[in-house]
Amino acid sequence: MARNGQKQCVEVILCAIRSINPPSVRKTSRKSARSASSEKRRMSRFNAPRLLYASSKTPKCIARKLQNVSASTSRRYESGASGGACTDFPWRTCRVQGVQGVFPPKDRAIVIAAACELPARFDLPLSHFSLHELGAFIREEHKDLQISLSTIWRWLDEDALKPWQSRMWLFPRDPQFLAKATPVLDLYHGSWQGSPLGPDDYIISADEKTGMQALERRHPPVPPRPGQPQLIEHEYFRHGTVAYLAALDIRSGRVMGRVDETTGITPFMRLVDHVMRRKPYRNARRVFWIVDNGPSHHPSTFPERLATAYPNAIAVHLPIHASWINQIELYFSILQRKLLARGHFVSIRDLVDSVLRFEDRYNKTAQPFRWRFTARDLKERLKAC
């Protein structure tokens, strides 16, 4: 009796839909009348599904009654019928067998909470959750939840969660990390000890790129072709290593570097001489040298050694494990990606010449990096650790 009553209700609604269609719409060609897309447009234009939704039917049920209209199409009419809300449709607030996406907020919260934990928290021998592993865990721990992987993925996507992805992270080890990093970040934004820098103040970011290998590929690289990327031979011959010491002018973006056989105090001071003996640095009011805590420029010895050689030079040291604040590392990354990673060097001399020619080419169009990270940003990030 209940089924007959529902059937009669739907038939009455369909009759009402046909009766509200104006005569001009009924006069369509036979081909158009049989067209699925034409039927969808007519249903959309005259709000046919809205009357069906008033009977609290599911999209699949509606699709069966509205011929040539799929469940996904009828589901799209829901927001128009309810004004963007789902509260008018009882089928959206409880699980119905065979209907997708019909879960109360508690089920969604269970999935999101599990995705925000490491598997070890649940005594699982996994380093991370994949989509399939997360789905299997949810079904195993909550046997009453039968949630498809596509639903889980959609919920994760809505919250920008990807438990299968990771990135390397190094927690600050220096107890004075913020105090040491703040002067460096202030220099990048044009101030020192609370006062703005003058036009005759310069900032140098310096470091060494050690262990650059002169690798000769067993076969020279093959240039790219249509449908084929560049081919790089996997095997190679080693011709030795060198060190590249470079200094970046923060304000101009220009690089001044030299290649040496090794690193150390003497090679690094040769780099300092290479920079400070040229204009405009030798006559500048102040030249700030931003360096890390390596043995070539250790905080215990380098400031005095630098000030003795050049009274207008000031050493500014980074915190421990803070090379990501040193802008010269950005240039080293560009050098690595554009030259060294796919390089083919037949000798040490070939590697040295290539690095220095790359530096000259870079300086022809050099621009300062747009550094936006501030001391306030660092303070907020440290609070989140």
**Is residue 171 in some structural domain?**
no
**Is residue 334 in some structural domain?**
yes
Q: Which of 70-74, 146-150, 165-169, 363-367 has the lowest mean pLDDT?
A: 70-74
Residue 290, pLDDT above cutoff 50:
yes
Output the domain CATH number for residue 321: 3.30.420.10
Q: Which residue in 176, 222, 184, 173 sits closest to 206, CA to CA?
A: 184
Query: Are 85 and 123 contained in the same domain?
Result: no
Query: Are 87 and 117 contained in the same domain?
Result: no
Query: Are 109 and 88 contained in the same domain?
Result: no
What domain range is 307 assigned to? 177-384
**Is residue 48 in some structural domain?**
yes
Residue that finishes a domain, picked among 43, 68, 92: 92
Q: What is the DSSP string of 269-302?
A: HHHHHHHHTSTTGGG-SEEEEEE-S-GGG-TTTH
Q: Judge contact between 49 and 43, C-beta under 8 A.
A: yes
281-314 in b/e burial notation, b at 16+ Cβ within 10 A?
beebeebbbbbbbeebbeeeebbebbeeebebbb
Query: Are 123 and 196 contained in the same domain?
Result: no
Query: Are 225 and 195 contained in the same domain?
Result: yes
Give the model's pLDDT for residue 173.
83
Q: Which of 39-53, 215-229, 360-374 has the lowest mean pLDDT?
A: 39-53
Total domains in the chain come to 3
Could you give the count of Cα atoms lying within 13 Å of 244 in the half-sphere of its Cβ?
27
Query: Are 81 and 19 contained in the same domain?
Result: yes
**Is residue 249 in some structural domain?**
yes
Give the model's pLDDT for residue 103.
83
Measured CA to CA, the distance from residue 87 to residue 83 in angstroms comes to: 10
Query: Are 271 and 207 contained in the same domain?
Result: yes
Percent over 70 (pLDDT), the chain: 73
Give the model's pLDDT for residue 168.
83
pLDDT tens per residue across span 143-200: 888 899 999 999 999 999 999 999 988 778 888 999 999 999 999 999 999 999 999 9
Measured CA to CA, the distance from residue 109 to residue 111 in angstroms comes to: 5
**Is residue 55 in some structural domain?**
yes
Any idea which residue has 């269609």 for tokens? 21
Could you give the count of Cα atoms lying within 13 Å of 155 in the half-sphere of its Cβ?
25
Alpha carbon distances (Å) from 372 to 250, 333, 384: 13, 19, 19
Query: Are 316 and 339 contained in the same domain?
Result: yes
Query: Are 215 and 243 contained in the same domain?
Result: yes
Measured CA to CA, the distance from residue 6 to residue 134 in angstroms comes to: 40
Residue that finishes a domain, picked among 92, 126, 150: 92
Query: Are 15 and 65 contained in the same domain?
Result: yes
**Is residue 167 in some structural domain?**
no
pLDDT tens per residue across span 191-208: 999 999 999 999 999 999
Beta bridge partners of 228: 225
Query: Are 149 and 244 contained in the same domain?
Result: no
**Is residue 81 in some structural domain?**
yes
Its pTM stands at 0.67
Query: Are 48 and 150 contained in the same domain?
Result: no
Of the pLDDT bands very low, low, confident and very high (cuts 50, 70, 90), residue 65 is: low
Residue that finishes a domain, picked among 92, 115, 147: 92
Measured CA to CA, the distance from residue 176 to residue 353 in angstroms comes to: 41
